[in-house]
Structure 1
Amino acid sequence: MTTIVLLLVCGLSHAQNCASLIAEDKTIKDINILRMHPTTLVVRGNYSYALTLQNETKGVVAKVISKAGELLNRDDEVIFMDVNQVRKSYRFVETGNNSNNGGTPISENILQLDLDAAKWLASTSIVTIYIKNNVENQMRKFTVIENRQQELKQMAVCFVEKLNPDFVNDVKVDADVKSMALTSPSTDIAESPSSSNNATKTASPNTDGEVKDLQAQLQSTKQQLRIEIEEEKKKATENKIENPRRNQRLQKRCHRPEKCFCTRSARGKTKSQQEIEEARKALAKAIEDAKAKADNELEQINLNVQEARQKASAAIETAKLESAKEVAATRESAAKEVQAVKEKMDNGKIRIYR
């Protein structure tokens, strides 16, 4: 009874794990559309490779995703090697999709597999993968660490268990690698992690794998730096174009209020000068009229008052008024002088009456 319970628990746990790995599962026109979430195979420095198994109208395929790594071209190959040194090769069948995400170049392409390939991946552990560029006749070698091996195998197991073979357009692929020429030291570039306990021999017996790994990382870093430098140059060019426009807008904003202020000041000054001139003329005429009629002391006092007003007006005229406050101050001074003269006049009236 206990054994049955344990089997049920293990089965339930396995089903739950598989459910978390499946991205899409549906049937359309007698095809079981099944897509798994990507699993990472290799991480080296700032670049990585991931893979996801899929069943589509084209049959069983694998999407390979390269981040800051190799460009994945049509007819290039990925060679998987398992713990038993069995190698199987599969080709990219599309032109590939190349993009850029935050400065990181991303290349994606589809490997044509078949149902037997999926079953093989589910039954073994992949310890090494090779990415072969058939255009440049070069090949890179990557060691898959143990936990990545388990993740790839688990994804393949769930894929095979979930896939309905009656709804698969199985395209048979001859994947067996019969020749060891793929590791020719004159054309291939081998790469393996220096920190991995599962590191294998490189393509050339005279080539240090760790040095090759560092060289590959250096090239990848250079490529990343070139992309970042180009982006910075582009931003600098855009700023050079934008800054003069921004300065012109700021200058216009700054000049507008200054221009308005100067115009208002000029108008106010002209108006004040006109008022002073009119007042001066009126006072001058009044004084002349008053002098002609001055027959007694009271009239003389009135003349003195008028003369005081004329002096006040002259002081106002000579003053260079810059603001309304100065005009008000001058007028206040003139008013005080007039008041003083009036007081004298009042005192004079009192003496006359006495």
Structure 2
Amino acid sequence: MKAVIPQLSWHEVRPAAVVLVSGTETVLAERAMRILRDTLRDADPSLEVTDVDAADYVPGELASLASPSLFGEPRLIRVSGAERANDAFVDDLIGYLQAPADDTTLLVRHGGGQRGKRFLDAIRSGTGGGVEVVCAELKRDADKYDFAQAEFRMAGKRVTPGALRAVTSAFTDDLAELAAACQQLISDAGDEVTESTVDRYYGGRVETNAFRVADAALAGRYGEALITLRHALASGADPVPMVAAFASKLRTMARLYGARGSSAQLASQFGLAPWQVDRARRDLQGWTEEGLARSIEVVADTDADVKGAARDPEFALERMIAVLSARGEIVRS
């Protein structure tokens, strides 16, 4: 059924009688639950927190935990594993929604699936006065950039756009690693996190080196790209993700080639961050449609080469860089 209660993102979580935290993205769910706990505790340090596993729920447990306490402390009841809930929990929760307890926040974590549809529909219908925090998997680079930006903002740490781009690129494949990297930078860095700060901590990441090579090559700086490539390979970089970095940037360039509109409009249209649109537009300067098509073919060939089709992956990489540095023009040796 279509939800009628507020649908919030993880960083918009706010207290309510019932807070449903749904979705498969564990990192975002953990962030949302921590923010909710801290918000309630800031409002009243005497907050009583209780954890319940929905799979091992005992009949009557919810009513017992939500009953008025002797000293009237506010309560946060955190229910985990609601996607594995037993029948007793489903029945008790549906009953609880008819008359939620005063001064009590019931947080229900549901990781996805159809189990618990009865109480999910009840919460989403507005019964109990709840809100839903949707924690779906982050697939778009723009969403991961926004996640990293929110991490620094909530910690009160200044971070430059270049640093955000660098750390997001370095950990784009794993949100948990991206979150951990942001927290380390927040904890260890000075007043402001800059691109050089990220480089100092994570400059050895394959992805970071790969995107540096790609940036130099696509800008036509062949010598710089070649030197950076050789340094990356000498540092242990795997050629496969190196090619993947080129493919990622070329895909973005191809999508934006000939597109008209503001950065914000195109970012929304293509699922990108505005800075990615601006970067792709800069990268596209001097390129032709034919050169872009040829470069995409060369990258595809190189991908096959570094995965075993050629004897010398490094030579294949250097040949690809030569073509891309010439903006797709045929390079004769």
Structure richer in helix, relative to its length: 2
TM range (shorter): under 0.3
Structure richer in strand, relative to its length: 1
Q: Whose Rg is larger?
A: 1
Q: TM-score scaled to structure 1, two decimals? A: 0.21
Q: TM-score scaled to structure 2, two decimals? A: 0.22
